Structure 1
Amino acid sequence: MRVVRPCSLLSAAALPLGYALQADPSRNTCPWSGVSPDFGRFMQFPMDIMEFPDDVQDPGSFYANSGISSLERNTWRTSPDCFEEYCVYTSDGFFDKGISLITTASNHARVAHIQPPQKGSTSHQEKTRIANIPGKGKGLVATRMIHRGDRIMTTSPALLVHRNAFRELSLEDINYLMDVAVNNLPKSRKESYMSQAGSRKIIDILFTNSFQVTLGGNDGFHYGNYPEVSILNHDCRPNMAFYVDNNLTHHTHAVRDIKPGEELTISYVDTLQIRSARQERLRNSLGFSCACSSCTLSKEESNASDNRIRAISRIESELSDFNSKTTSPAMIEEYLSLYRTEGLDNSIAGAYTLAALNYNFFGNAKLAEKYAQLSVEAGQLENGPDAGDVREMIILAKNPKSHWSWNVKPYRL
């Protein structure tokens, strides 16, 4: 059974490779069905997160028309060995750390346009320490109280590999490009890449420790490796959420209070799946069986958890259908209660969005505003401040009665 989480405009912008290794076409489709043409501007699910020119065949003509200065181009080195349209591009100064790309000329140009954030990368060291975690190896542990919303780290990728390269190139060719890409990195960056979990093979490290990211357009899908993030272990009910912004910066924030001595975790899989589906995905994609608190419940407790996940899916389907005549305030509150009981703190923003919209449909401005504000708060941690749902919920929270969803389905007790 697959559970579809609430539709978020940027929810597919950054996914652990555990998602990416097994295609899930429905993840690119918003489950909401609108009742007005105006709803389309909110409910469409574009994969683009940045506006860029279409891919081109001639790299020389692309750069000539791209607006990238010769100085910007000179900060990148291009390997003389390319296979098909895929080349290795390396910058020693990208975000002051260095990066290698295995990609097309146009996607390299997209990355070359990126401006590093003013604050740069932040470290987790003042709040955490690396420790040995029983059954997991090394992990990150809190050294002092961490509060919900606290930023743990922001960091840039060391390696970005075009997803289609694995489909279009031979294993020999992709291994060659991977070797060149990693060996071209600055020494410290190469060492941080090679120190990650996995076998000593460069390609195995990528598949064990990477995220699926997009640069926009139909040709922008890549696997991004963030060495600093690889210290974070998996939990099906994690205490942190993450997203990748338009500058390829990976952000992690606490989604609930974390006590000193507690491990900091993210989820490698869709937390809105039943236990057996999560376990299968982790075994097939990443080669381990999860032993988190949710996966080691007693049979009775595990069945109850699975039933809550199924109920979330069923109610979500109703609330996402804006033409449904069976939705009610009681259904909304049951839906949110199930999320809270399951401890889905890392993926609750979409649930608050659906609650806000449905309460606004019913003409309840007070509750619509309440849940829109909660959606904004959670959405900024899960998807970033520029996410489409965050922007839309800010609009709704400011004036529910002027929002397109106001009183569409008046509810009378």
Structure 2
Amino acid sequence: MSRKILWIDGSSGASGDMVLGMLVDLGLPVDDLRRALETLPIDGWSLTERRVERSGVAACKIDVHVPADAHGRGWKQIRDIVESARLDLPVKQSALAVFRRLIDAEARAHGRAFEEIHLHEAGGIDAIVDVVGACVGFHALGVERIVVSRLTTGFGTVRCAHGVYPVPGPATLNLVRGIPVEAGSIEAERLTPTGAAILTTLADAWGTMPALEVETNGYGSGCADFGETPNVLRGVLGREDLEIDAQTTRSVVVIETNLDDATPQALAFTIERLLDDGALDAMISPALMKKGRPGHLLTILARPADADRLGRIVLAETPALGLRFRREHRVELERRFETVSTPFGTIRLKVGTLEGETLNVWPEYEDCAAAARNHGVPFVQVQQAALSAARQGVIPDGRNETGSGAAEGRTEETQL
């Protein structure tokens, strides 16, 4: 068993356009990138590609041309823009996770509430294109694991919407908490907030290049020329052998707390807010508490970078006096979305595969629910029609219509 892995060398720093350039140089067709980004409900921008040389290294430079865009954007505006685009669900989820982390870093830097923050440079059209484009690229290249090197931040000062700040700026410092960084020897802002947000949100691990079979490599260029030091973000794409054990699977943080005095309304709202704020999953289980009291076990699965912020939400929204954190490892199927035509319209399918073998196929709930309402038919009728259509091309011969293998003893497990 193997998986596609991308190692990113951030020793020269990183920015949003450098990430895009690296992905295009790795093989992402720029026309595909442009078409995906054109589904965003924002106008007046354009994206161009050119070849440059930085200290003898040939690299791809992506330029995002935008009109004057002085006003900042808050979380709701950015979320509406991303959710309105015609993009695969994993792309939207990753992009929103990046912006959520970026806004949280800005909120801590300015001592303000999350809802009060409006991103200026990082909320501009070019930054939205950079973040969403990066997520489009990682998804299109089939990257399953991202490992990032130590990041170089640079030093000195930089002018931004709020004035002249030291490098790295306050938001960037918040984003790289717990991340290996160094200033480097060049006086300049080499790690931008957008670049830091993309890498620190989407990275699965940090360190030197892991063992892998190299398929290709790519270089994304920044704007500046630093003389003898190439101002490029390097990516090495390949496959790594994967043993299904705790040492090589993806890490998640499990957050738990026991509650015996939370109302159903408060619990429902907490679950909704946690999922909106980036939790991979959140669930409630019945529990028998001390003194025979009925209660609830609240469990959240979180990316390591999001665990602290999601834990604070639990403490704010519930009567919990404490939380338990533990890091666990999980094996994930490779996932993609397919669409099938049914008598009730087009339905998306979530397809899970392992080494090219389809193990799970299941229709998207929202699509089935909308079709059932529109046509006045039972939900299960739409679901069965989608599965029947899937058997013609998505589910290999010999599989049953539950989306799981027909072999005895195999059970369906939700993939997060």
TM-score past 0.5 threshold = no
Greater share of residues in helix: 1
Q: For the superposition of Structure 1 and Structure 2, which TM-score range results when normalised by the shorter chain? A: under 0.3
